[in-house]
Amino acid sequence: MEKKRIYLSCPTMHGEELEFIQEAFDTNWVAPLGPNVNELEKEVASYVGCKTAAALSAGTAAIHMALKLAGIKEGDIVFVSDLTFSATCNPICYEKSIPVFIDSERDTWNMDPAALEKAFKKYPNAKAVVCVHLYGTPAKLDELIAICEKHNVPLIEDAAESMSATYKGKQTGTFGKYGIFSFNGNKIITSSGGGMLVSDDEEGIAKARFLSTQARDAARHYQHSHIGYNYRMSNIVAGIARGQMLHLEEHKAIKKKIYEEYKNAFADIEEITMNPLNPDGDANCWLSCMTLSEGCDVTPNQIMDALEAENIESRPIWKPMHLQPVFEGYDFISAVDGEVSVGEDIFNRGLCLPSDIKNTPEDMQHIINIVRGFFK
């Protein structure tokens, strides 16, 4: 008999999602846009504490719109977190601008302020900074913001993984000029897909809505003065997200409990360290990750293979962007000279543990036993 599948992180539905979807069907709002989209924008803006938001087809689309609003053009240099998923960086290339990858620091695994300052010395005319809150842990925002203000460039927060996480009591995604969230299927809440661009820049968000709806001018006939994009969220998808928003804090609490259970379970194994959390923040613990000590006889691949043999999904740490074939030739800045970069070291020694909120106590113990079995 096939063993039960335990997922890394998959959707958890509650029922209210169907009510919003049914309302859309009953009122025939099944096309893109509609009341669910409008209300979701208000609900997300209210939850995170910003003035306005634009519901889009993906977090990637939200990053693209943020770059457009920031005035990024062909040839412009954009500093971006190196340890992330490629979706953070791809929109920079959509605009034919130039990504320069910034290494992580060890305290939170996020963009290193020292490396960012070093990057500005090399590229004083850089036009924007895109920082990621990796695996739901807030970056060192005070330091990053101070550097951006010093060099008069906008900060864009990729908070795709950190919705509901806070830094000094304030929601991630609201510190920079623009913030983005993702509702992808594996995120802390999901609409099956979709994303959100948030900001206090109401004029900018209005422009993002215009550009993402094919940039149709206000005329009776179809008239276009700008290149547009088909990036707006559908009313059905927004209905799913509205139902999920009702359970965001509940999901966060369970994710944090999962992290603590792993941390406590491995506390006596000196070769294992859990991913660090920012003491100035409240992480959402979207994914619980671990690293193995240098020189450890066990490898991340061995642990992932053992989990997969039991039909349990895990994942390597993100492979740093400067090591990706598609970004070969772009510059990479690290505060660590002549050594393996921080991000590469984390990638080499780490893995993401199953962090699905539907994991039962028996599931968690099974996972823990498999990992502990390597360290008897």
Name the CATH topology of 248-375: Aspartate Aminotransferase, domain 1 (3.90.1150)
| Percent of the chain with pLDDT strictly greater than 90 | 96
Residue 301: the pLDDT is 98
H/E segment holding residue 52: strand 52-56
Q: How does residue 339 score in pLDDT terms, banded at 50, 70 and 90?
A: confident
At 90-129, the pLDDT tens digits run 999 999 999 999 999 999 999 999 999 999 999 999 999 9
Mean pLDDT within 19-43: 94
Q: How does residue 376 score in pLDDT terms, banded at 50, 70 and 90?
A: confident
Q: How does residue 298 score in pLDDT terms, banded at 50, 70 and 90?
A: very high
Q: How does residue 338 score in pLDDT terms, banded at 50, 70 and 90?
A: confident
How do strand 315-316 and strand 166-167 relate by DSSP bridges?
unpaired
DSSP class of 158:
E
Q: How does residue 1 score in pLDDT terms, banded at 50, 70 and 90?
A: confident
Residue 351: the pLDDT is 98
Q: How does residue 2 score in pLDDT terms, banded at 50, 70 and 90?
A: confident
DSSP class of 87:
G
Report domain 16-245's class: alpha beta
Question: Of 183, 163, 151, 6, which is closest to residue 78 (Cα–Cα)?
Answer: 151
Domain ranges of the chain: 16-245, 248-375
